[in-house]
Amino acid sequence: MSSGRLFIITAPSGAGKTSLVKKLLEKDPRIKLSISHTTRDPRPGETNGKDYHFIDQATFFSMKSQGDFLESAKVYGHYYGTSKAFIEANLKNGSDIILEIDWQGATQVRKLFEDTASIFILPPSLKELERRLRSRAQDSDEVIHSRLVEAKADMAHVSDFDYVIINTRFETAVHELESIVLANRLRRSYQLSAHAELLSKLTQ
């Protein structure tokens, strides 16, 4: 059985990352989403165990000290971590996995796994990013201002990523995300591993 591939997806808050990933998962049953652990409170409509594993800080730091996280970072004042056991088990079983993590986590993961595809999603403008943040009607003006400041800092790391998607039109961005996944599955290293038996017969 071939090993799976990690797809790291990073974006500033409000760029549309969550919606794009949700649509990709609907269209591609071969890819799984790694559900992060976080110390922040659930937003309206979020479900524990589906959107995030919501835990308190004591539990988070206990898990981190035990080496349960592949990566972890503090984002917008809250802690996030990726389950090491989930990633290792699913890659071994041949599943492709999406990691929705910030640039700090992406840096940590790339050091551990060389064969990753990292994707940064950008908004078409700061004005549009602010509009999307305000359309949520969940945050105060102070929080939105803070998120915009941090978004600029996050986007300064875009050059560290393999692919860049500018989410101007949602349907176009979904197609571009699908294309990146497909292109990576057609890479020589992936195909030789996934079709080792066939290639052995073809080259005998």
Could you tell me the domains of the chain? 6-34+96-203 (3.40.50.300)
- Residue count (the chain): 204
**Which residue positions in the chain have pLDDT lower than 70?**
1-2
Spatial distance between the Cα atoms of 176 and 120, rounded to a whole number of angstroms: 12
Say which residues have a Cβ less than 8 Å from residue 3's Cβ, sequence separation at least 6: 91, 92, 94, 193
In this predicted structure, what is the pLDDT of residue 177? Answer: 98
Output the six-digit token pair for 177: 């995300």
In this predicted structure, what is the pLDDT of residue 1? Answer: 46
- 3 touches 193 (CB < 8 A): yes
pLDDT in tens, 176-203: 999 999 999 998 888 888 888 999 899 8
